[in-house]
Amino acid sequence: MATFSRPMASSNARRALIPEDSPSFCIKIVTDNDLRDGKELPEMAVKIYRNCMEDSIFLKVPNCETLWPIEVKKSAHGGRMWLHKGWQEFANFYSLEQGYLVFVSYKGEHSHFQGRIFHWNDVEIEYPIRGSGGTDGIPKRKRTSAHGGMPNAYLKAARAISNSSRSLGNEHQNVLSTANSFKSDKPFIMIKMTAYYLRREMFISASFATKHLCRAGASCDLSLQTPDMRTWIAELIVYETTELRVYAKIKGACWKAFKEENHLEEGDVCVLELIEECKFRVSIFRARVKINELSEAGRPR
Share above pLDDT 70 across residues of the chain, in percent, rounded to a whole number:
70
Is residue 42 domain-shared with residue 89, that is, in the same domain? Answer: yes
Which of 89, 118, 147 represents a domain boundary (last residue)? 118
State residue 149's pLDDT score: 39
Which of 62, 97, 118 represents a domain boundary (last residue)? 118
Banded pLDDT at 297 (limits 50, 70, 90): very low
Assigned domain for 48 exists: yes
State residue 184's pLDDT score: 87
Is residue 141 domain-shared with residue 249, that is, in the same domain? Answer: yes
Is residue 294 domain-shared with residue 191, that is, in the same domain? Answer: yes
Task: Out of 125-139, 201-215, 267-281, give the one with best mean pLDDT.
Answer: 267-281
Given a cut of 90, whether residue 216 has pLDDT beyond it is: no
Is residue 137 domain-shared with residue 43, that is, in the same domain? Answer: no
Bridge partners of 202, per DSSP, are 250
Is residue 167 domain-shared with residue 218, that is, in the same domain? Answer: yes
Is residue 219 domain-shared with residue 80, that is, in the same domain? Answer: no
Is residue 198 domain-shared with residue 294, that is, in the same domain? Answer: yes
Given a cut of 70, whether residue 273 has pLDDT beyond it is: yes
Torsion of CA 171, 28, 270, 260, to 10 degrees: 100
Please report the DSSP string for 84-117 in residue order: -TTHHHHHHHTT--TT-EEEEEE-SSTTEEEEEE
Is residue 149 domain-shared with residue 292, that is, in the same domain? Answer: yes
Secondary structure element (H or E) that encloses residue 259, with its range: helix 253-261
**Mean pLDDT confidence for 268-292:** 83
Higher pLDDT, 17 or 215: 215
Express each pLDDT in 167-196 by its tens digit: 444 555 566 667 777 888 999 988 888 887
Bridge partners of 115, per DSSP, are 104
State residue 59's pLDDT score: 93
Cα separation, 56 vs 26, in Å, equals: 18
Express each pLDDT in 10-50 by its tens digit: 334 334 445 556 788 999 988 778 888 899 999 988 988 88
State residue 103's pLDDT score: 93
State residue 175's pLDDT score: 66
The range of the structural domain enclosing residue 257 comes to 131-301
Cα separation, 116 vs 143, in Å, equals: 29
Banded pLDDT at 276 (limits 50, 70, 90): very high
Lowest mean pLDDT among 143-152, 169-178, 229-238, 239-248: 143-152
Residue type, 201: E
pTM: 0.47
Express each pLDDT in 62-75 by its tens digit: 988 788 999 999 98
Rounded mean pLDDT of the chain? Answer: 75
State residue 278's pLDDT score: 93
Assigned domain for 13 exists: no
